[in-house]
């Protein structure tokens, strides 16, 4: 390394140039480091900074992390760890903290003996956050002193200094994201809160607080949003939280052990729904695509329960055997393991690849679960009854002639009679399917569409609440069958869990023998179109529940949309203006322009339903890609989404406001 000293402001040393090049690279291609430059990327910065404090907690040196959205829109993260080292880094001839903040990937250099958060988009390092911030202030509280250093766009602008004495110990990072980089620099309290809550579950006992000091966030009662997360029950409480709105069969079972330096923690329980919900984490990173830890868990679960059923003579004949999908019906489980050198694979680098993990998780779960079942025969019996019931339903579904056959959808043989398909020849990805509530609106949509690329499927009557129905019942439902056939992909996860030799069946999830196949998607956009009222909102929620539960891939890949029909039409003479949801202010402005609501010749029409529009109007306002407004549905946070869908679709469903859309940031407005 260079020995040249940085004597004047024009005298750049070789190190300085390297640093500048590194930061430049991050600012040139931010998406390469943080995924994107939208809201998601912005919040990635918060995760990155928080992860550093969590690492300190994992190393056993920190018990509290305080996150704050400051009055002026920055985020600060304070922990009570050891404090980033401030002594001179010999090679770089700079304080350690300055090295950590300005050199790419320098963060991890200090001590390697920890379980580091790394892989996926995590672990890009706090220097990336620094590079993408117009201002970043790092404060260190160590050995009785309070140190401070400041950066702009990753470049040191105020060198490290001691500002005063200090009674406390720890690190505080405050950063202001650069508006020149990000499309938005406005932090979302809920988004940050969800992540912090999960971190609190995963790190039992760790206290994490979140405070929103922005004036705009002040609530009606005059207080500012504040949350303290601390869960002494860890994963057990996580499972309870996920299943809060469901009826549980038992208290969560906890399996916990460190084997060969691999800490493993698993909590599981069953509830009265028919879905499985397994969430897994490696070094606090959500492994969305699963991997070896999930495989080990699933295989042990199936084996242990079958073993118990045979040993306890619950199974009368030895031909009876529960499949994986049977034992996982209504299962909620959270798996959290720590791995020194995790290998992340898969499309989004969220699949654990370490082969040694499968067997370790498997033996642990098999042994502990059998032990637990032998100690809890009454609850075990209940769980087994539930599993055998699932097996029976699976066999019934398999036998039912009514199943949707793969051939019908795939070879275009029998599309639903109710489907007004678009004319053949266009690329499916350029085509759109409108799912329309009500016959009259359906009729207008059929007449107003562009027949080359737009198809219409009218929905009649009550939509089945898939949250409350088992697969066999769902597949017997006429509307659902039409929907699945029209879309063409089949249902389930793209990676179906096969149980070979199990009655020749594959899985409870696959309606057509092989589950969801994206390549068979018949339309690039699937647009749910309902009235802008409570009933419409309810149908939207039911439809989104269906897609979320049975075709999640379509949501993940951005194929599902909500139409946004206008709320009002303001007419004067031959000219019409349409007012869309979320844009109600427009109405007053337009009326003003036209001379006031009572001016001569002005007509204000409030649309109560799609049926009030003729085909021409429907085309102009809701169908025509050039003029309409549609919302793309995106659901990032699976845990929150699951809770919300369960709550919305629970036993007593009063007409709720359009909760999913308004409150949960699931939808994003786009003009497309
Ligand atoms: C490496 C060594 C030491 C502290 C840290 C890293 C550290 C980093 C961060 C980032 C956020 N909070 C943090 N807290 C601590 C100190 C080693 C020592 O004191 O012996």
Distance in angstroms (rounded) separating the CA atoms of residues 513 and 20: 56
Give the pLDDT of residue 412: 47
Distance in angstroms (rounded) separating the CA atoms of residues 652 and 249: 20
Burial of 58 (0-12, 13-18, 19+ CB in 10 A): buried
What secondary structure, in 3-state letters, does 141-188 show?
Answer: EECCEEEEEEEECCEEEEEEEEEEECCCCEEEEEEEECCCCCCCCCCC
Give the pLDDT of residue 387: 95
| 87-96, 467-476, 622-631: range with lowest mean pLDDT | 467-476
Report the separation in Å between the CA atom of 95 and the middle of ligand 1, taken as the mean of its atom positions: 13
Matching residue, tokens 């629970």: 650
Give the pLDDT of residue 476: 80
Distance in angstroms (rounded) separating the CA atoms of residues 629 and 621: 8
Describe the crossing of helices 377-399 and 292-311 by its angle, rounded to 10 degrees: 100
The string of pLDDT tens digits covering residues 136-152 is 999 999 999 999 999 99
% the chain with pLDDT above 90: 57
The string of pLDDT tens digits covering residues 375-421 is 999 999 999 999 999 998 888 777 654 445 444 444 444 788 899 99
| 63-72, 508-517, 558-567, 573-582: range with lowest mean pLDDT | 508-517
Distance of CA 352 to the CA centre of its chain: 18
Cβ atoms 484, 370 nearer than 8 A: no
Look at ligand 1, atom 12, and give the residue with the nearest C-alpha. 53
Does the beta carbon of 109 lie inside 6 Å of ligand 1? no
The string of pLDDT tens digits covering residues 324-365 is 999 999 999 999 999 988 999 988 888 999 999 999 999 999
Report the separation in Å between the CA atom of 104 and the middle of ligand 1, taken as the mean of its atom positions: 17
Q: What is the mean pLDDT of residues 260-280?
A: 94
Structure tokens at 98: 């300055």
Q: Is residue 658 annotated as a catalytic residue, yes or no?
A: no
Q: What is the mean pLDDT of residues 613-633?
A: 92
DSSP helix, strand, coil percent of the chain (3-state; round to 5): 35, 20, 40
Please say if the pLDDT value at position 65 is more than 90.
Answer: yes
Distance in angstroms (rounded) separating the CA atoms of residues 195 and 207: 14
For Cα atoms 617, 622, 628, give the angle at the middle one, nearest 5 degrees.
Answer: 115
Quickly count: other Cβ atoms within 10 Å of residue 355's Cβ.
9
CB environment 3-30: b (16+ within 10 A), e (fewer): eeeeeeeeeebebbebbeebbeebbeeb
Give the pLDDT of residue 649: 66
Does the beta carbon of 66 lie inside 6 Å of ligand 1? no
Q: Which atom of ligand 1 is nearest to the CA of 142?
A: 19
Q: Is residue 111 annotated as a catalytic residue, yes or no?
A: no
Give the pLDDT of residue 393: 86
Give the pLDDT of residue 501: 29
Look at ligand 1, atom 19, and give the residue with the nearest C-alpha. 82
Max avg pLDDT among 69-83, 85-99, 385-399, 622-636: 69-83
Provide the 3-class DSSP secondary structure of residue 295: helix
Q: Is residue 514 annotated as a catalytic residue, yes or no?
A: no
State how beta strands 64-69 and 207-212 pair: parallel
Does the beta carbon of 53 lie inside 6 Å of ligand 1? yes
Does the beta carbon of 271 lie inside 6 Å of ligand 1? no
**Under 8 Å CB-to-CB from 209, ≥6 apart: which residues?**
64, 65, 66, 67, 226, 227, 228, 229
Distance in angstroms (rounded) separating the CA atoms of residues 22 and 104: 6
Looking from the CA of 57 toward its CB, the CA atoms found within 13 Å total 24
Counting every residue written for the chain, the total comes to 672
Please say if the pLDDT value at position 569 is more than 50.
Answer: yes
Q: What is the CA radius of gyration of the chain?
A: 28
Give the pLDDT of residue 499: 29
The active-site residue out of 139, 276, 289, 437 is 437
Cβ atoms 129, 138 nearer than 8 A: no
Across the beta sheet with 667-670, the strand order is 454-459, 432-437, 525-529, 560-563, 630-633, 667-670
pLDDT band at 637 (very low <50, low <70, confident <90, very high): low
Report the separation in Å between the CA atom of 83 and the middle of ligand 1, taken as the mean of its atom positions: 5
Provide the 3-class DSSP secondary structure of residue 49: helix
Give the pLDDT of residue 201: 97
Look at ligand 1, atom 7, and give the residue with the nearest C-alpha. 84
The active-site residue out of 531, 637, 642, 658 is 531
Phi (first) and psi of residue 271, to 5 degrees: -130, 180
Cβ atoms 611, 440 nearer than 8 A: yes
Question: What CA–CA distances, in Å, run from 479 to 396, 437, 461?
Answer: 20, 12, 9
Across the beta sheet with 207-212, the strand order is 155-165, 145-152, 133-142, 170-177, 75-79, 64-69, 207-212, 226-229
Quickly count: other Cβ atoms within 10 Å of residue 181's Cβ.
20
Give the pLDDT of residue 421: 95
Structure tokens at 493: 């996860």
Among 47, 67, 78, 81, say which to mutate for ligand 1: greatest number of ligand atoms within 8 Å of CB. Answer: 81
**Under 8 Å CB-to-CB from 637, ≥6 apart: which residues?**
191, 194
Please say if the pLDDT value at position 45 is more than 60.
Answer: yes
pLDDT band at 14 (very low <50, low <70, confident <90, very high): low
Q: Is residue 531 annotated as a catalytic residue, yes or no?
A: yes
Mean pLDDT of the chain: 85
Distance in angstroms (rounded) separating the CA atoms of residues 337 and 488: 38
More confident residue, 393 or 88: 88
Please say if the pLDDT value at position 167 is more than 80.
Answer: yes
DSSP string over 19-44: HHHHHHHHHHSHHHHHS-SSHHHHHH
Of 109, 138, 139, 107, the residue nearest 123 (C-alpha): 107
Report the separation in Å between the CA atom of 160 and the middle of ligand 1, taken as the mean of its atom positions: 16
pLDDT band at 5 (very low <50, low <70, confident <90, very high): very low
For Cα atoms 258, 261, 262, give the angle at the middle one, nearest 5 degrees.
Answer: 60
Look at ligand 1, atom 3, and give the residue with the nearest C-alpha. 84
Distance in angstroms (rounded) separating the CA atoms of residues 44 and 54: 15
Calculated CA dihedral for residues 322, 327, 328, 329, nearest 10 degrees: 90
Please say if the pLDDT value at position 9 is more than 80.
Answer: no
Distance in angstroms (rounded) separating the CA atoms of residues 136 and 77: 12
Look at ligand 1, atom 4, and give the residue with the nearest C-alpha. 84
Distance in angstroms (rounded) separating the CA atoms of residues 44 and 78: 17
Matching residue, tokens 């055998």: 388
Look at ligand 1, atom 20, and give the residue with the nearest C-alpha. 82
Please say if the pLDDT value at position 486 is more than 70.
Answer: yes
Q: What is the mean pLDDT of residues 564-592?
A: 86
Question: What CA–CA distances, in Å, run from 188 to 58, 97, 131, 136, 638?
Answer: 26, 29, 21, 19, 17
Does the beta carbon of 133 lie inside 6 Å of ligand 1? no
Does the beta carbon of 111 lie inside 6 Å of ligand 1? yes
The string of pLDDT tens digits covering residues 198-234 is 999 999 999 999 999 999 999 999 999 999 999 999 9
Q: What is the mean pLDDT of residues 459-483?
A: 82
Question: In 274-410, at which residue ranges do the beta strands (DSSP E only) sit?
Answer: 277-282, 285-286, 331-337, 344-345, 351-352
Domains of the chain listed by start with CATH number: 24-228 (3.30.565.10), 235-393 (3.30.230.10), 413-565+634-638 (3.40.50.670)
Handedness of CA 491, 496, 500, 501 (dihedral sign): negative
Give the pLDDT of residue 15: 65
Q: Which atom of ligand 1 is nearest to the CA of 62?
A: 14
């Amino acid at each position: 390394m260079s020995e040249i000293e940085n004597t004047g402001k024009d005298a750049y040393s070789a190190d300085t140039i390297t640093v500048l090049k590194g930061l430049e690279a991050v600012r040139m291609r931010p998406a390469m480091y943080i995924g994107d430059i939208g809201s998601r990327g912005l919040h990635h910065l918060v995760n990155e900074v928080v992860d550093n404090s969590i690492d300190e907690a994992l190393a056993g040196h920190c018990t509290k992390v305080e996150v704050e959205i400051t009055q002026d829109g920055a985020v600060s993260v304070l922990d009570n760890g050891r404090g980033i080292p401030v002594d001179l880094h010999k090679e770089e001839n700079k304080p350690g903290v300055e090295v950590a903040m300005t050199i790419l990937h320098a963060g991890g250099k200090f001590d390697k003996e920890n379980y580091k958060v790394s892989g996926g988009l995590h672990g890009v390092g706090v220097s990336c956050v620094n590079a993408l911030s117009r201002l970043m202030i790092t404060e260190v509280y160590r050995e009785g002193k309070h140190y401070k250093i400041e950066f702009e766009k990753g470049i040191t602008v105020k060198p490290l200094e001691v500002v005063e004495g200090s009674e406390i110990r720890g690190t505080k990072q405050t950063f202001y994201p650069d508006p020149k980089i990000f499309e938005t620099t406005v932090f979302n309290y809920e988004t940050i809160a969800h992540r912090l809550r999960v971190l609190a579950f995963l790190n039992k006992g760790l206290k994490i607080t979140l405070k929103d000091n922005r004036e705009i966030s002040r609530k009606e009662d005059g207080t500012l949003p504040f949350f303290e997360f601390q869960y002494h029950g860890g994963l057990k409480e996580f499972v309870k939280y996920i299943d809060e709105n469901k009826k549980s069969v038992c208290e969560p079972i906890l399996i916990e052990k460190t084997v060969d330096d691999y800490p493993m923690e698993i909590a599981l329980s069953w509830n009265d729904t028919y879905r499985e919900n397994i969430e897994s984490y490696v070094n606090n990173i959500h492994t969305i695509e699963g991997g070896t830890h999930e495989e080990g868990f699933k295989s042990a679960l199936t084996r242990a329960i079958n073993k118990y059923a045979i040993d306890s003579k619950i199974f009368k004949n030895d031909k009876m055997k529960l499949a994986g999908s049977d034992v996982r019906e209504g299962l909620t489980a959270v798996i959290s393991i720590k791995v020194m050198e995790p290998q992340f694979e898969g499309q989004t680098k969220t699949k654990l690849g370490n082969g040694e993990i499968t067997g370790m998780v498997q033996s642990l779960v098999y042994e502990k679960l059998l032990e637990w079942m032998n100690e809890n025969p009454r609850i075990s019996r209940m769980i087994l009854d539930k599993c055998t019931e699932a097996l029976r339903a699976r066999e019934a579904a398999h036998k039912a002639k009514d199943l949707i056959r793969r051939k019908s959808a795939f070879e275009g043989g029998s599309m639903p009679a109710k489907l007004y398909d678009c004319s053949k020849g266009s690329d499916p990805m350029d085509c759109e399917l409108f799912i329309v509530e009500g016959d009259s609106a359906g009729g207008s949509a059929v007449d107003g569409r562009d027949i080359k690329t737009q198809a219409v499927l009218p929905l009649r009557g009550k939509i089945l609440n898939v949250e409350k129905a088992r697969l066999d019942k769902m597949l017997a439902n006429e509307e659902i069958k039409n929907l699945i056939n029209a879309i063409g992909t089949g249902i389930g996860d793209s990676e179906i869990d096969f149980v070979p030799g199990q009655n020749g069946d594959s899985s409870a999830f696959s309606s057509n023998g092989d589950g969801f196949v994206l390549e068979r998607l018949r339309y690039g956009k699937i647009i749910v179109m309902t009235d802008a009222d409570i009933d419409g909102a309810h149908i939207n929620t039911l439809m989104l529940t269906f897609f979320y539960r049975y075709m999640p891939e379509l949501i993940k890949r951005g194929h599902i949309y909500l139409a946004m029909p206008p709320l009002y039409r303001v007419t004067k003479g031959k000219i019409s203006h349409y007012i869309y949801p979320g844009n109600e202010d427009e109405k007053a402005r337009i009326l003003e322009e036209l001379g006031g609501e009572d001016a001569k010749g002005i007509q204000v029409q409030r649309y109560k339903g799609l049926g009030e529009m003729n085909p021409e109007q429907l085309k102009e306002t809701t169908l025509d890609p050039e003029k309409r407004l549609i919302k793309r549905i995106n659901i990032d946070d699976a845990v929150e989404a699951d809770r919300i869908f369960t709550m919305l679709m629970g036993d007593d469903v009063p007409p709720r406001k359009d909760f999913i859309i308004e409150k949960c940031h699931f939808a994003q407005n786009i003009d497309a």
